[in-house]
Structure 1
Amino acid sequence: MLAPVVALLALASQALAHYTFPDLVVGGAKSADWVNIRRTNNYNTQAPVTDVKSADFRCYTSETQATATTATVAAGSQLGIWADQAVYHPGVVNVYMAKAPSGTDVASWDGSGNVWFKVYQISAVTDGGKTISWPAQNQAGYTFTVPKNLPSGQYLVRIEQIALHVAQTFGGAQFYISCGQINVTGGGSGTPGPLVAIPGVYTGNEPGILININYPIPANYTQPGPAVWSG
């Protein structure tokens, strides 16, 4: 009977290591869960998305069909996206934004098309193959600056934490995803880009997604996705 018990404990431990991103932090104040962020399918299970071509790869709401309350955020200010527990798995972070079309309430917009641009990332730190470390690991959440020159308007803001602990086979990378809704005020006249579609931004074969981080230790790491647009 020992083996089944050990297996169950291992599964329980693995489940505890998963997480969601249910909270925005605006003006230093953290929202309640799923207020400014659309409730994801995994709000109970915490299960990741592994298919980068799935419709769920965008906002992970195919089952919940959720919308959220739109938070007001000033261009040039700090915006945080917080997890429900420490981000346990080693990996990297990307934050994308997409502007709702003029006259469209972001709460009713699905974010389809080549409309997403990257505003923030946390990559790996390497030293030529001796060690690799993950600054995004064991964090409660992530804070970044909303670009000062970002045009005013309503946006989806999407986080993905890519867990790479079992990414040595295709489909092994785990994506922890959520989308918040914000209204940017006091913005500028920048032109965000490059623009990508989600899904569509990745194939799953990128060297930063299909990778063995354990052995041999990677000599370098290539962050998936386009360059960050800082404004």
Structure 2
Amino acid sequence: MARDETERPGAERWVPERPTTSSLLEAVQDCRGCELWADATQAVMGAGPEGARLLVLGEQPGDREDVEGEPFVGPAGRLLDRALADAGIEPGGVYRTNVVKHFRWSGMRGGRRIHQSPKSAHVAACVPWLRAELSVVRPAGAVLLGGTAGKAVYGSRFKVGESRGRLVDWPSSLGTADAPGWVLTTTHPSAVLRADDRDAAYGELVADLRVAADALGAGS
């Protein structure tokens, strides 16, 4: 297998020194921390209230997110909103973002670009953006949607099934000054949409999110 020698300097040099939601939204459009910017329509920064008590972290923008410039506006995002509401969490009060800010895709199917999972190198290059978002939002808790988000926070050995639905600590390796007080991992809504038994998978997602809702209600 040929060695990947693509230059990926990481996003640090493009992150504002004193970030705000508006400055991050502007600065991310200039990011050249990895090669994904070249095939994307635009970078997609997180969206939501600066003082949101809950941050939801997914993998990367999808086809619709890349076009519209906002996270979680496609089918998976609509399902997430419904699941949050069913779990007792007001969707409008959640800050939602992705580990990787540019859409990675390969080929077309039915007029839509085919999603391609980001490499660990893309995730590593984008981590400075997540740190900056945490410094702005300072959420009480975080929900990680799926394996890519989990590995970005906890490393390559992370598996969703080993901690799903439980409150765990934010790792010290990513810094703790602006870290959420607890983290909950669950499946990505796109996995629910692909599930053979969608109703059961949706119920499990809502059950996980209720754990987060209880933690928020308890002021944890």
Normalising by structure 2, we get a TM-score of 0.29
More helix by share: 2
Of Structure 1 and Structure 2, which has the larger fraction of its residues in strand?
A: 1
Of structures 1 and 2, the one scoring higher in RCO (CA 8 A, sep 6+) is: 1
Q: Which has the larger radius of gyration?
A: 1
